[in-house]
Amino acid sequence: MNWKLFWSSFAFLILSTLLFFYFFFPYNEIKFYSEEEVFNFTLPTYNSEMQFYPNMRYPGKEISYKISDECTLKKKNDMEFAFDIIENLTVLEFYPVFVNEEISVNCNERDIVEGGIFIAGEGGPTKVVRGEKFNVILKGDILLIRDSQCEKPNIAIHELLHALGFAHSLNKHNVMYNVTSCNQKIGEDIPKLINDLYSYPSYSDLSFTEAHANIKGRYLNLNMTIKNLGLKSSERAEIEIYTNDNLIKKVDLGPVNIGEGKIITLENIWTSSLKIEQIILIINSDFEELEKENNKITLKIKNEKN
């Protein structure tokens, strides 16, 4: 028997077995976490008391409406006049539709009294998606209760601005004061805020809000949360996963609605890299977004001393 050949073959078998376990079976765990990243997208700082929530706006600057057939001709005319006034002062455009309107205008002939004061109208957002950048109004309602006796339709203007997200003003000369009078005016700060908010295009904005990973042996386990922080639902996108600079997997993200997100968990992704220093996640989209820099996140090895 050739013992030299036997021991060489035996050593080769042992080495091959060890390499097999080294490459294919977990032997330790390395954890990866994202560091806090700062992106360029910022919104101007406004008086937070002007609106019900900060940065309230509709998805687009063209806003649909429907006036109920139950409204009197006087109230219909007042409402149309109010739309025209806000259009002339801002970048907004209002257009009538028969169904699926963004602003619903209804009328009520009954007197409503609150705190000893006759209520002339009511209005405000009724469906809002709260996001990181904007509080997006998807639906607003206006109720015109009493006819305006003013030259300008201050009641309709007041309620329309409520539907656009504006709260009451403490200035009794401002049209947003809680008691309406004919000498009230639209403050310059209201059109300015509207124009500033609607200067941002109606794009979606996909962003990683959380991600962490661990590697056991040669297998990557990954958990990530992607959210749409923008002003419209996104189209289909794809997530690319890199270890160091090597692309190891692509994942179909699909569309994401305004203000909604998706949690994606992946397990046992094979990676051939012997030493992984970072994991890079990229949202690959071929459509316009408010910001592209938040489409990438880098995970690095966690320092256990921190």
pLDDT of residue 162: 94
Q: Which token pair is 92?
A: 């907004």
Which domains are present in the chain? 26-41+205-301 (2.60.40.10), 56-197 (3.40.390.10)
Q: Which token pair is 212?
A: 């962490």
The span from the CA of 14 to the CA of 185, in Å, is 88
pLDDT of residue 113: 41
Compare 208 and 2 and report the one with higher pLDDT: 208
The span from the CA of 212 to the CA of 284, in Å, is 19
Q: What does the DSSP assignment read for 67-82?
A: E-TTS-HHHHHHHHHH
Instruction: Tell the residue number behind the tokens 């006819």, with chain if given.
Output: 147
Tens-digit pLDDT profile for residues 196-221: 999 999 999 999 989 999 888 778 99
Span of 69-78, 268-277, 292-301 with lowest mean pLDDT: 268-277
The span from the CA of 231 to the CA of 131, in Å, is 9
As beta bridge partners, residue 282 has: 240, 296
The span from the CA of 163 to the CA of 94, in Å, is 13
The span from the CA of 19 to the CA of 233, in Å, is 48
Tens-digit pLDDT profile for residues 137-165: 999 999 998 777 888 999 999 999 999 99
